[in-house]
Each structure stands twice: as C-alpha cells, then as structure tokens.
A and B are shown apart, each in its own frame.
Chain A
Amino acid sequence: EAGVAQSPRYKIIEKRQSVAFWCNPISGHATLYWYQQILGQGPKLLIQFQNNGVVDDSQLPKDRFSAERLKGVDSTLKIQPAKLEDSAVYLCASSLGLSETETQYFGPGTRLLVL
C-alpha cells in the first residue's frame, strides 16, 4: 500500500514570495491533515479536511495560508506572502476517518526555508 506522498521535499524562497505544497493521501482515506513542525517543536495542526470539506482550520493563519482539497483526494497548502517564521517542515497526514481510534499516517514532509 502506497503511503502519503508529498512534494516538493525541499523549498527555499525569499520572504514575501509565495509557495505551494502538494499532498496525496493514502487511497481511501477520507481525512487529511496539514501540520507545521518548527525546529525543536512537535507538529502543530494547521487544517483538517473530511473529504473536501474543512473540519478544523482554527490554527491556520488565514491572512497568509490557504489550503484546498477540491475533489476530496489531493490537497495543496499555499503560503502567500511567506515570512521568515514560516520556515518549518510541513507534514501531511491522512486517516480513514474522524474517529478517535483512527491512526494518522504521515508523509515525509516538505522542508521550507524562508530567507
């Protein structure tokens, strides 16, 4: 079974530029998550989708971050414009559903450096 795929794996941009990350979850997984992991910290949930609907985006900085999952499968996370403090690893995860007993499976992440 293929795992969660993410691209690109690495990205370097200058502040005020825009950047987009792509995630393809495990086939059949209805729930998709985007996390931000700043160096030295644990992952922090940014946004959570159930199929193509947003379940929780309470910690997403909506003035600069946006995410979509148009057909309930792939998802993109965009930052526009980027700030220095956005330097982090962006992890995508998926699970079968929203139940408390569902395991989240993580992709390899996209490492973003904002100069």
Chain B
Amino acid sequence: AQSVTQPDIHITVSEGASLELRCNYSYGATPYLFWYVQSPGQGLQLLLKYFSGDTLVQGIKGFEAEFKRSQSSFNLRKPSVHWSDAAEYFCAVGTTSGTYKYIFGTGTRLKVLA
C-alpha cells in the first residue's frame, strides 16, 4: 500500500541555520511528490512538486527538494531558515491506485529560534 513517512515530528533550528526535513514514500510506480506548508490557522500551501525530470526541484520561499529513487526519499531543504518559516510541513504522494488522490505524511512541526 502507498504510504508517506515523515520520521521527525518536531524539529528546532536557529534562525539562519540550514534545514532538512525528511520524507520517505512507499509507492510502486513513478511517484508524484509534493511538499506543503501549513501555518497556524491556515490551509495548506504548495511549496514545490516533483513529477519527472530533474530530481532537484526548486520551490517558493527559497525551498528545494531532491528526489532520490534509490532511497525512496524526497527531502525538503532550505539553506538559511527565517523565523517566518516556523510552521508544519507535510509531504504527500499522488497515487493513481483507483482514483487519483494524495496521501499525506503526518507532518513535521518546525520551530525557529531567534
């Protein structure tokens, strides 16, 4: 069955430090992969997506993610975190089993220290 694992429930980094959020997926075919961010009281905003091609994907707000098929991973990175990046981050895989739908991970809550 398709699934998404985000191993880190909480991550704390200092402002200006680099960030990497982990995402592992289980999916038999070529995955469609997404990272969304959810600020408190807000809906989910798309940061970036991978469908095919270049395995390093650039997104909004200075985020990037790298698709590694051999590791079944799609980790999100940012070279320098800003206080406004504090939020919850969700990785999702688009699955075509039956109808097309997203399966989300459980999320990683990011705290940024000033």
Binding site for B on A (CB under 8 A): 3-4, 33, 40-45, 48, 55-56, 58, 91, 93, 98-101, 103-109
Asked if residues B43 and A99 are in contact (CB atoms below 8 Å), the reply is no
Q: Verify if B90 is at the interface (C-beta below 8 Å from A).
A: yes
User: Given that A103-B46, A108-B43, A109-B43 are contacting pairs, would A45 and B101 also be in contact in the complex, using a CB cutoff of 8 Å?
Assistant: yes
Q: Contact string, B48-92, partner A, CB cutoff 8 A, digits 1/0?
A: 010100000000000000000000000000000000000000101
In the bound complex, residues from chain B placing their C-beta under 8 Å from that of A98 are 99-100
In the bound complex, residues from chain A placing their C-beta under 8 Å from that of B44 are 43, 91, 93, 106
A-B contact count (CB 8 A): 57
CB within 8 A of A45: which of B45, B51, B96, B102?
B102
Asked if residues A100 and B32 are in contact (CB atoms below 8 Å), the reply is yes
Q: Verify if B106 is at the interface (C-beta below 8 Å from A).
A: yes
Closest A residue to B107 using CB positions: A42
Nearest CB of chain A from residue B40's CB, rounded to whole Å: 11
Closest A residue to B44 using CB positions: A106
In the bound complex, residues from chain B placing their C-beta under 8 Å from that of A93 are 44
In the bound complex, residues from chain A placing their C-beta under 8 Å from that of B42 are 108-109
Cα distance, A3 to B34, chains bound together (Å): 19
Cα distance, A37 to B39, chains bound together (Å): 14
Nearest 5 CB-CB pairings of A with B: A42-B104, A106-B43, A106-B44, A56-B99, A108-B43
In the bound complex, residues from chain A placing their C-beta under 8 Å from that of B46 are 103-105
Asked if residues B100 and A91 are in contact (CB atoms below 8 Å), the reply is no
Cα distance, A33 to B101, chains bound together (Å): 9
In the bound complex, residues from chain B placing their C-beta under 8 Å from that of A58 are 98
Asked if residues B51 and A40 are in contact (CB atoms below 8 Å), the reply is no
User: Given that A56-B98, A109-B43 are contacting pairs, would A101 and B106 also be in contact in the complex, using a CB cutoff of 8 Å?
Assistant: no
A-B contact pairs, 14 of them (CB 8 A): A4-B43, A40-B107, A41-B106, A42-B104, A42-B107, A48-B99, A91-B43, A93-B44, A98-B99, A101-B51, A103-B34, A105-B46, A106-B36, A106-B45
Asked if residues B102 and A104 are in contact (CB atoms below 8 Å), the reply is yes
Nearest CB of chain B from residue A32's CB, rounded to whole Å: 13
In the bound complex, residues from chain A placing their C-beta under 8 Å from that of B51 are 100-101
